[in-house]
Amino acid sequence: MDRRSFIKRAGAAGTGAAASVTLAAPAVAQEMPSIKWRLTSGYPKLLDTIYGSAVIFAESVRAATDGKFDIQVHPAGEIAGALEGLEAVRDGTVEMASTASNYFWETDPAFAFGTGVPFGLNQRMMNAWLYEGDGLELLNKFYSKFGIIGFPTGNTGAQMGGWFRREINSLDDLRGLKFRIGGFGGRIIEKIGVEPRNLPAEEIYKALETGKIDAAEFVGPYDDEKLGLNRVAKYYYYPGWWEGGVALMNLINLEKWDALPKSYQAAIRSASALANSVMTARYDTLNPPTLNALIQYGTVLRPYSHDIMTACFNAAEETYAEISAENADFKTLHDSYMGYRRDAYLWFQMSEYAQDAFLMLQQRAGRL
């Protein structure tokens, strides 16, 4: 074949290839329809970490679908209240919500396992149980009874134990206090004589300032400082034992989910996982300097005493047994979750904990 014949045949082949692409375009377009969804967050825009995970998620879905799948994020209160995400998704007001599943524990206590329960899994363990254990499968089997499906979309990591106007040195100091606490932890702490109040983020400061509540927990240094809680309470306690590693969920209307193209479902899964990873990284970056700043401005750090921690642990175990005896879904999730906790802590005490404990001693000695 001479050079001229080769070029001629190559040109013809190129024209055919271009034609095949042109013919295929309508089929591709049918596979990628333009879809618009609305997402209600359980948090205000002020909280750029926990609200921001929904923004990261939506932007990732948009990029993965060349803008065809557009999910608009709305802060708490714009469409649905902070504690109304489940209802808004179930009745079709919105297609999805980015929120803490345990906000809805009063609907069914089993919802708590989608976020974390008292003396439960830390952030790494929660991810392991959800992704590689049977956690997410069991949760979605439970969620389906409410017409929803869920995917992890963020984790705050360990949280602080709340802001108090005065020191809390014993169980007696806690009894009778009105304490803002989110989710399932309120049921546990009620057993030791505390009066729980489940308030959305935007209401906590005013309630604490006016004396409507005596103490409040939310997340940790970065978010708590943004809410101004350090300005109305001096003592900052730890740890937030009611949720070891707080997972957020993208809760999606199941009918809407089933109607999506498979590629869009894959985009949601991937974008949720990205947001899940980024949120923890942001908190782990932002909390240390914020905590240092809080201390410099007069915040006093205090650990919960051993008797308080033990009493709360015992109350949690008692509560789990009570609910498991009457709620099959709760028992199924509890047995899986706590079974993994037992095995995971056997491993972690010989791995992360051993090294972390040594390095913490070096930090206290000024060697880091």
The CATH superfamily holding the domain 32-155+246-284 is Bacterial extracellular solute-binding protein, family 7 (3.40.190.170)
List the pLDDT tens digit at each of the 368 positions of the chain: 443 443 344 444 444 433 333 434 444 445 789 999 999 999 999 999 999 999 999 999 999 999 999 999 999 999 999 999 999 999 999 999 999 999 999 999 999 999 999 999 999 999 999 999 999 999 999 999 999 999 999 999 999 999 999 999 999 999 999 999 987 899 999 999 999 998 999 999 999 999 999 999 999 999 999 999 999 999 999 999 998 889 999 999 999 999 999 999 999 999 999 999 999 999 999 999 999 999 999 999 999 999 999 999 999 999 999 999 999 999 999 999 999 999 999 999 998 899 999 999 999 999 99
* Angstrom distance (rounded) from CA 103 to CA 111: 8
Q: Are 316 and 188 in contact (CB under 8 A)?
A: yes
The type of residue at 217 is E
pLDDT confidence of residue 7: 35
pLDDT confidence of residue 13: 40
* Angstrom distance (rounded) from CA 277 to CA 179: 31
Distance of CA 145 to the CA centre of its chain: 21
Q: Are 127 and 279 in contact (CB under 8 A)?
A: no
Q: Are 221 and 290 in contact (CB under 8 A)?
A: yes
The backbone torsions φ and ψ at residue 299, rounded to the nearest 5 degrees and listed phi first, read: -65, 135
pLDDT confidence of residue 243: 85
pLDDT confidence of residue 30: 56
